[in-house]
Amino acid sequence: MELTRELGNFIVQTDYDNLPAEIQQAAKERLLDTIGAMIAGRAGWAYGDALIAAMKNLGSGTCSVIGPDHGSCFPAARAAMINAAFAHAIELDDGHKFAGVHAGAVIIPTALAIGQDVGATGKEILAAIVIGYEIVYRLAVAQSPDLIERGFHPSATCGTVGAMAVAGKLLGLNEQQMANGLGMSVLQASGMMEATVSGQQSKCVMVGNSAFNGIACAYVAQAGLEGCLTAFEGKTGLFHGMSRCIAPEEVTAGLGRDYWIVDTYNKFYPTCRHAQPAIEAVLDLAVEYDIDPAQVERILVGTHHVAYELTGLIYEPKNPGEAKFSIPYGVAAALVDHGVAVRHLEKQAFQNKKYLDLAQKVQVFIDEKINGLYPKKRGAQIQITLKDGTIYSRECFDLKGSPQNPVNFDALKNKFVISATNLLSNESIAKIQQLCTEFERGKEVSQLLSLLNW
């Protein structure tokens, strides 16, 4: 059986009431966390207004986008695209450590937009969210690390297929339509890792576009068009073109029994994930030993080759995009302020001499041990040397919020409060948290979306 058909059957047959309780809870956690990332991205990304203005040239509709854009309504696919761009804009969206992929930024906006468009219930939307994560993670993990090393961005490529699965589920496609849509979405999957090197500020638009393409494929499949059923494993299909020869069973092992949404990590710093082990290790040392930044002589950061190439080379960020992809700057901010927050992506921060001078004392290199553990373990080795010769060292692999170092729902609620404070009223914040906590009871998503404007 072609992989498109096997995945299509799984999507059609999966229902909320048949999911384990922990998977139902995980979906609600992903919903709240991603909404928080969307809010932070809309408020903190410098190009939010420009994106809204540009997209108005491409049509209007009945689905809303979040933020101060009252009256800005778009077709469902375009609303999902915009909200997905916001979710990924400042690197606070969730991900999967073994795949280098951010599913939530694509899956949640797609589920909300299509859910609003068709009047889906909370249970239907939550089931679609679980399905979307499952598809994205299984495809990305099977192709890791080849997908990235060949230059393809997993969130955009695999996200397109995941968005199609979510939209197809909520549109009620049958098995044949679902297989057709999945095949078509593979042909639309695109996104390049070069976006992490140049033009980082628009990388999120690439990820947002995967939501648009996936939804478009679902509508086309609903209309009855034939899809490429061998798009994954065919001789000239996605696996051969973007990664390597992958047997379908690598993707489907345990499908419908083992749900990978629980393998999601949460981000607590607005930076590229590859920079975060170094940041968290320095943060822990700074807090534990009350390190005075003025007394620091040198900071050595040993990491793996992907982290080095993506985040180890920028010492003087010129814009928020470069600030998110700079280990030296992130380490300096963590040491000075005992934290890295959205405010560190503002011009007055990343051009501040107190951070830049300290960043010059950071030396990032490829550590043989850390690199040898990649991609199964992704971490960093830190050594801080003070002017008096004192040395502090720490390794960090399992970040706060990772499956190996988990946080509870209350921690995610606190993160949400930080993202939404000064934008939404305390009453709206509390109501959004309540709606997400009890989302399976909801009859439609419109009440939640109405609270996401300020």
Q: Is the peptide bond before 403 cis (omega within 30 degrees of 0)?
A: no
DSSP state of 407: -
Let me know: does 355 contact 272? Beta carbons within 8 Å.
Answer: no
Find how far residue 65's CA is from the centre of its chain. 18
What is the CB-side half-sphere exposure of residue 337 using CA atoms within 13 A?
18
* Tokens encoding 368: 């043989």
3-class secondary structure, 298 = strand
User: Which pLDDT score is estimated for 245?
Assistant: 86
Element (H, E) at 64: strand 63-64
Element (H, E) at 349: helix 347-350
User: Which pLDDT score is estimated for 99?
Assistant: 87
CA-CA-CA-CA dihedral for 292, 298, 301, 305, to nearest 10: 150
Where do the domains of the chain lie, and which CATH numbers do they carry? 3-267+409-450 (1.10.4100.10), 273-396 (3.30.1330.120)
One-character DSSP codes across 68-124 = S-TT-EE-HHHHHHHHHHHHHTTS-S-BBTTTTB--HHHHHHHHHHHHHHHT--HHH
Q: For residue range 34-65, what is the model confidence (pLDDT) as tens digits?
A: 999 999 999 999 999 999 999 999 999 999 99
Distance from C-alpha of 315 to C-alpha of 362, rounded to nearest angstrom: 9
Distances, alpha carbon 205 to alpha carbons 81, 83, 90, 211, 417, in Å: 8, 10, 12, 10, 25
Beta strands in 322-398 (DSSP E): 362-366, 380-386, 391-396
Distance from C-alpha of 225 to C-alpha of 179, rounded to nearest angstrom: 11
Closest CA to 214 of 123, 128, 147, 89: 128
Let me know: does 23 contact 202? Beta carbons within 8 Å.
Answer: no
Q: Is the peptide bond before 375 cis (omega within 30 degrees of 0)?
A: yes
* Tokens encoding 102: 């951010």
Element (H, E) at 300: strand 296-303
3-class secondary structure, 339 = coil
User: Which pLDDT score is estimated for 356?
Assistant: 98
Which residues, other chains included, contact 272 with Cβ-Cβ below 8 Å and sequence gap of 6+?
Answer: 91, 196, 310, 311, 324, 325
CA quadruple 326, 332, 333, 338: dihedral sign: positive
Closest CA to 191 of 145, 155, 241: 155
User: Which pLDDT score is estimated for 376?
Assistant: 85
User: Which pLDDT score is estimated for 441?
Assistant: 97
* Tokens encoding 211: 């939501």
Which residues, other chains included, contact 149 with Cβ-Cβ below 8 Å and sequence gap of 6+?
Answer: none
Identity of the residue numbered 68 = P
* Single pTM value for the model: 0.94
- As separate numbers, helices (DSSP H) first and strands (DSSP E) second, the chain gives 22, 6
User: Which pLDDT score is estimated for 327?
Assistant: 98
Find how far residue 430's CA is from the centre of its chain. 24
Q: For residue range 408-448, what is the model confidence (pLDDT) as tens digits?
A: 999 999 999 999 998 999 999 999 999 999 999 999 999 99
Let me know: does 272 contact 322? Beta carbons within 8 Å.
Answer: no
User: Which pLDDT score is estimated for 98?
Assistant: 85
Provide the residue-wise pLDDT of the chain in tens; the chain has 454 residues. Answer: 999 999 999 999 999 999 999 999 999 999 999 999 999 999 999 999 999 999 999 999 999 999 998 778 999 999 999 999 999 999 999 999 888 899 999 999 999 999 999 999 999 999 999 999 999 999 999 999 999 999 999 999 999 999 999 999 999 999 999 999 999 999 999 999 999 988 899 999 999 999 999 999 999 999 999 999 999 999 999 999 999 889 899 999 999 999 999 999 999 999 999 999 999 999 999 999 999 999 999 999 999 999 999 999 999 999 999 999 999 999 999 999 999 999 999 999 999 999 999 999 999 999 999 999 998 899 999 999 999 999 999 999 999 999 999 999 999 999 999 999 989 999 999 999 999 999 999 999 999 999 999 9
